[in-house]
Structure 1
Amino acid sequence: MQKRSRRLNVYFDPEIHRQLEARAVRRDISKSALVETAVLSFLTDDDAERQEAATSRRLDRLSRQMAGLEEDVSILAETLTLFIRFWLTSTPPLPESGRAAAKALGLERFEGFLTALERRLATGDRFLRERQREIAARQEPRGDEPA
């Protein structure tokens, strides 16, 4: 049986709160998890136990991140597979006379694709995150709808 966490309201100086939020974002963990780890570290007298608690928290975070990556890779593999199947079944073979022009156009389009990809990667936003936000926005009740 999994232990349930109990709620505790605490108040921080605004500067400490800002630092807590920044650290949580950098480590990609919740503020609650960060505060819990810090309190546990403070309450634990034994260095080995403190280290074990910190390691356990990090491993939990890594496990959650790996699960997210596994889902992303699965989605990407399925997407690529469907695209290849669609392309192979819907693209007719080219006659010999049109192959040179098709190759030139393909190279031009591929360069355009690479340029678009470079721009996209430079922004730091990713398609799957963008898609997840779009899905979440569609699922959120609007102000004029009952919750």
Structure 2
Amino acid sequence: MRISEVAARSGVPATTLRYYDTIGLINAHRQSNGYRAYDESVLERLSFIEAAQRLGLSLPEIAQLLVVVEGDTCTQVREALHPKLTERLREVDAHLANLRLLRNRLVAATRRVAACPDSGVSCRSECMLLDQRGRGCLTPDETTQGAQ
């Protein structure tokens, strides 16, 4: 298959296919006219790459996994893939916890700003983002209240 056909069948842009070829994720055979030629197996490989990317794996991680997937048993693939997925899950959980904390802070700050009275006098904008003690972080009580 030529690169245009692979792009059409896989949904992966030709520029990305060229990049993947350059970094060794896929392999093209050069024809005498210089065009890249791919065999059918590239479509399955591209599906694996896309699925791994949707799980947040990096291209270097995917390259390592492709070596295992194509040369080892299912047991060996599981032993290589499971720890990577477990670690990625831990990273996502930590990120979600940080996002929940940020959301709670934003809720409390939004409430504080909404409660600011109308006034014709000059106001320091940063005063509404500070807690009662003048710090930029919310108190534990305010963070908990924001989750409600």
- The TM-score range, normalised by the shorter chain, is 0.3 to 0.5
The structure whose RCO (Cα within 8 Å, separation 6+) is larger is 2
Higher share in helix: 1
Q: TM-score, normalised by structure 2?
A: 0.42
Q: TM-score, normalised by structure 1?
A: 0.42
User: Of the two, which has the highest radius of gyration?
Assistant: 2
